[in-house]
Structure 1
Amino acid sequence: MLSAEQKRFYDENGYLMVEDVVTGDALRRLQAVTHDLIDASRGVAESDEIYDLDHGHCAETPRLTRIKLPHKVDPCYDEILKSSAVTEVLRDLLGPDVTLLTTKLNTKAPGGGAAVEWHQDWAFYPHTNDTLLAVGLMLDDVDMANGPLQVIPGSHRGPVLSHHANGFFCGAVDPEDPDFHRDRAVTLTGRAGSMTVHHCRTLHGSAPNRSDRPRLVLFYECATADAWPILGAASYIHELGQRRFWDDLQDRLVCGAPCLEPRLADVPVRMPLPPARDNTSIFKTQAAGGVKSAFG
């Protein structure tokens, strides 16, 4: 699927754009299922196990920040992960044995859909090694106006920045941190069906959606099977116990087989503790921490 040049670019820069990964009927099905889920949120008055509501959400104008764990809500999201070109990209970058950490469908509503402040995914879920990444499958065309993903090339080779504020994990970096180089940021735009990839230590964020169009992006966060979690901020898998964890792991296998010998790498780690007062989503974590916005 990926060329040698694409893999070299990802290794060096910590991100990649892959165009037209999902097209045709498969893309239209994802879009239809997603819009049906958003429509079903009209009857939801507060955030729950499926929906994270944005300010101004109501039955007349549904506004969400996120659909949580979409692969558990409708099988089409799981099928795309495990039986499409998305799977091939994951094999190329992570190897033959790949596990899913979590999924989320960020649904930036038109006219100010919530920003995601700058952060490193690694700060939320340190592992025994850092061969982890996130893919973002665009279900809408994404341009400069509707809150595209921004990344800082090469930051995956640098330090793990502090994601704490006022003594708590806040899920965002301080814009004044001397190791935060926003002037180097690259913006990733593309057609619906294209996909971004970023390494777990790559600094990234996205501005509010200032357009009159939605921005739906389906995120899969994945790891090579020999990367085992040290701690996960608010992840359900850490509440399961051994047997249920093992059973859940079988469902989270993207391809290959589990690995029972974790690979231990010399990687920088900061623990996401003490937890935010509300850590039910990155939006709530960042809001509860009172982080200073880098987006003005």
Structure 2
Amino acid sequence: MQLNQEQLNEFNKNGFLVLRNFAPQTLCEAILHKAKQHLEAKQLPIESEQEYLQQEDSSVTVRRLRQVYKREAVFQEWMTYDEIRPILKQVLKDTPVLTLAHHNSIMTKMPQISSRTFWHQDVRYWNFETSDLVSVWLALDDEYLENGLLEFIPGSHTLQLEKEQFDEMSNFLDDHQKNKALIEQKVHTNLHQGDVVLFHCKTLHHAGKNITDQAKISFVYTVKAAHNKALKDTRSDFEEVVLD
């Protein structure tokens, strides 16, 4: 499968693109089944809500399962899915390469106790020669504002933003005067099981708390262009998988 020119133009303009009904239901259900087992066992490595909020708390609420590529064959099946490879090659303009250092995660928004994800660019996590990286977000069930749906600021991947617009954690400040007008441009699209969102690593995005009584579980991984090398001796200098 490949994107048509309209879809490709939309991704390049907005910095994100929704692909409806992309992943088969059987694959989504198999991923979800295994993810719930790992979440219930709090199987390491994980990121907790307490860690994310920098709280000293003995309780552990899982925010994400880390390093999922090698946890289960079905996770690896999705991350190397043949049907999406031509699309990733289109948007990256090069052979896509899985970077296992980053994302490579099952993401959660647990009911009532999840925290807000602040506005940010994913590029803050990474150390590569260029910003030729794209994340692949898979909805494993319905996603909407009340349970923590992603929202995006269209075109923000092309902006030259200033350091003062971010806090010390590289969160895009809600109350900064320059940011307010940009945040007013935010958009969202409800997702259903099997929907995929591609988004550029410089596209500003955030998600609210889950105020429903059901957990929201999603899958995200990141690919880079083959020509885009990780900087030596950084967190990004880690195992990779070429999707040729």
User: 1:77 maps to which residue?
Assistant: 75
- Matched-pair contact (CA < 8 Å) for 1:123–1:160: no
**1:232: how far off?**
9.0
Change in Cα spacing, 1:86 to 1:179, as seen in structure 2 (3 Å) is farther
Q: CA deviation at 1:84?
A: 3.8
State the 1:126 CA deviation: 4.4
Q: Where does residue 113 of structure 1 map in the other structure?
A: 114
SS at match of 1:30: helix
Cα contact 2:145–2:208 (8 A) shared by 1 = no
- Give the superposition deviation at 1:174: 1.7
User: Partner of 2:147 in structure 1?
Assistant: 146
**TM-superposed deviation, 1:92:** 2.6
Q: Look up the match of 2:211.
A: 210
1:176-209 deviations in Å (ceiling 9; x for gaps): 3344211000113210111111111111111111
The one-letter code of the counterpart of 1:51 is I
Question: CA shift at 1:149, angstroms?
Answer: 0.3
Q: Which residue pairs with 2:171 in the alignment?
A: 172
Instruction: Tell me the equivalent position of 1:288.
Output: none
* 1:52 maps onto 2:52 in alignment: no
Which residue in 1 is equivalent to 2:130? 129
**Take 1:51 and 1:76, find their aligned partners in 2: how far apart are those partners?**
19
SS, match of residue 147 in structure 2: coil
Q: Distance in 2 between matches of 1:232 and 1:10?
A: 32
Please report the TM-score for the alignment, with normalisation by the length of structure 1.
0.71
Tell whether the 8 Å contact from 1:22 to 1:85 is kept in structure 2 after alignment.
no
Q: 2:96–2:224: 8 Å Cα contact kept in structure 1?
A: yes
The equivalences for 1:152-167 within 5 A come to 152-162=153-163, 165=167
Matches within 5 A, 1:12-51: 12-41=13-42, 49-51=44-46
Local SS of the residue matching 2:145: coil
Give the letter for the 2:45 counterpart: I
Bigger radius of gyration: 1
CA distance in 1, matches of 2:111, 2:222: 25
Alpha-carbon distance change, 38 to 182 in structure 1, aligned in 2, over 3 angstroms? same
Return the alpha-carbon distance in structure 2 between the equivalents of residues 121 and 130 of structure 1: 10
CA contact (8 A) 1:128 1:228 kept: yes
CA RMSD of aligned residues (A): 2.4
The amino acid that maps onto 2:9 is R
Residue type of the alignment partner of 2:202: R
Give the structure 2 partner of residue 184 of structure 1: 185
Residue correspondences, number: 231
Structure 1 counterpart of 2:98: 100
Q: Give the 3 Å change call, closer, same or farther, for CA 195–159 of structure 1 in structure 2.
A: same
The residue type equivalent to 2:48 in the other structure is L
Separation of aligned partners in 1, 2:69 and 2:62: 17
What letter matches 2:219 in structure 1?
A: L
State TM-score, norm by structure 2.
0.85
State the shift of 1:53 in Å: 2.6
CA distance in 2, matches of 1:196, 1:57: 35
Structure-2 residue corresponding to 1:11: 12
C-alpha change, 1:207 and 1:5, in structure 2 (3 Å) is same
